[in-house]
Amino acid sequence: MGAAEERIYDSNDVEITSKDNDQTDQYLTFIMASEEYGVDILSVQEIRGWESVTPIPNSPPHVKGVINLRGTIVPIVDLRQRFGLKNVEYGPLTVVIVLKVATAKGSRIMGIVVDAVSDVYSLSAEEMKSAPDLGDHVNTLYIKGLVNVNNKMVILLDINELLGSDSIPEVSISAIKELKDAR
């Protein structure tokens, strides 16, 4: 981020105000069902290839299970299922993007399964268009905005709004060991 700063001075050369002209944020984009989505890169912890997960009983269908990530239990959410898109077989390009999500209780680490990682874009707030109003029946609160990059539409997600309120059961490492032993 190369922020250019504009300073405004009065007739006595005393600085009155300054503002950033080039405020941009970076977004990691990924592909699902041939559409490109983006999340704030500051929320991204790491990107991993798909690996098997430990399923959690009575969890919503879009919660694939959990993984033990260096001692942290990380719930894995299939974003295709969360969005109601057609299911596909996971392949060599399937990745899990591990994100830090703000919740009402603080923050937690979660992973989202996506078709493939695409790119990183630096975008300014001026480039972003607000989400369309689709009425009361379609929740668009998790859409941060829409932006046109290289003649294609990218949907920027508010990951905190999308995943912060998901009801995912709290799971400890000992509970996962019990689940694996029961298999």
Q: Over the stretch 4-18, which tens digit does the pLDDT of each residue have? A: 455 555 556 655 444
pLDDT tens, position by position, 13-45: 655 444 455 689 999 999 999 999 999 999 999
From CA 169, how far away is CA 90, in angstroms rounded? 24
Which CATH topology does 25-182 take? Answer: OB fold (Dihydrolipoamide Acetyltransferase, E2P) (2.40.50)
Residue 82 has pLDDT above 80, yes or no: yes
Which tops the pLDDT comparison, 2 or 84?
84
The span from the CA of 152 to the CA of 83, in Å, is 20
3 has a pLDDT exceeding 50: no
For 45, residues 6+ apart whose C-beta sits below 8 A from its C-beta are 98, 99, 100, 109
Alpha carbon distance, N-terminus to C-terminus of the chain:
50
Span 53-65, average pLDDT: 91
Q: Which of helix, strand or coil describes residue 160?
A: helix
pLDDT tens, residue by residue, 140-172:
778 899 999 989 999 999 999 888 866 555 555
Whether 7 and 90 have beta carbons less than 8 Å apart is answered as no
Confidence of residue 131 (pLDDT cuts 50, 70, 90): confident
pLDDT band for position 2 (cuts 50, 70, 90)? very low
